[in-house]
């Protein structure tokens, strides 16, 4: 075990569980527990950044998705729904709030005259970009003291882990194999 000054929150939790349930392998906490902890630590800053631009996290997800889609910053509700992986009712509610705020408008679909696409307004483009730029600056600042080579290594390992977990969770129940 590392020296106490080198232990983080997860090390302390893991030690407590090891004392209480010594037969249980708690090593997954070393990875997933730290990812969860890091997410919880940065979430308030991310949400405050979006709020300073008049957006909540879900609204930013919509305007950010539209903004990164490229000109003309327009997607069908189905494309948005699939990209965001949320319930259709949640999307409808978000779109209503964003339209009322003047950040999106509904325009006739180029492919289907019976439906409406969702398009960012000029203000929506501005706010999505401003919020994202500020968020990236905050995130860069949070990891600024971390060695650049270690950042690259960690990013590669996390990508590999993400792909493995996505593949594992996409398997139909009962088809998972022990490795």
- Per residue, the 3-state secondary structure of 150-174, as one string, reads HHHHHHHHHHHHHHHHHHHHHCCCC
Q: Predicted confidence band at 171 (pLDDT cuts at 50, 70, 90)? A: low
Classified as helix, coil or strand, 85 is coil
What CA–CA distance (Å, rounded) separates 137 from 85?
Answer: 26
Residue 1 pLDDT > 60, yes or no? no
> CA quadruple 163, 164, 166, 167: dihedral positive or negative?
positive
Residue 24 pLDDT > 50, yes or no? yes
pTM of the model: 0.83
Residue 172 pLDDT > 70, yes or no? no
Query: What is residue 111's predicted lDDT score, i.e. its pLDDT?
Result: 72
pLDDT in tens, 76-132: 988 898 888 677 778 889 999 999 999 999 998 777 667 899 999 999 999 999 999
Mean of the per-residue pLDDT values of the chain: 90
- What is the token pair recorded at 153? 């290594």
What torsion, rounded to 10 degrees, do the Cα atoms 120, 125, 129, 132 define? -30
CATH tag, 53-146: 1.10.10.10
């Amino acid at each position: 075990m590392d020296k106490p000054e080198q232990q983080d929150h997860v090390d302390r939790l893991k030690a407590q569980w090891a004392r209480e349930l010594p037969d249980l392998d708690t090593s997954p906490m070393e990875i997933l527990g730290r990812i969860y902890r890091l997410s919880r630590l940065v979430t308030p800053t991310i949400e405050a950044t979006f709020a300073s631009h008049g957006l909540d996290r879900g609204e930013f997800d919509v305007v950010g998705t539209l903004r990164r889609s490229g000109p003309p910053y327009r997607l069908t509700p189905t494309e948005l729904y699939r990209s965001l992986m949320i319930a259709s009712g949640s999307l409808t509610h978000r779109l209503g709030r964003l339209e009322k705020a003047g950040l999106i408008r509904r325009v006739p679909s180029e492919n289907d005259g019976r439906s409406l696409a969702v398009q960012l307004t000029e203000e929506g483009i501005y706010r999505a970009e401003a919020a994202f730029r500020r968020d990236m600056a905050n995130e860069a600042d949070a990891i600024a003291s971390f060695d650049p080579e270690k950042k690259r290594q960690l990013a590669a390992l996390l990508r590999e882990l993400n792909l493995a977990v996505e593949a594992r969770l996409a398997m139909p129940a009962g088809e998972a194999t022990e490795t």
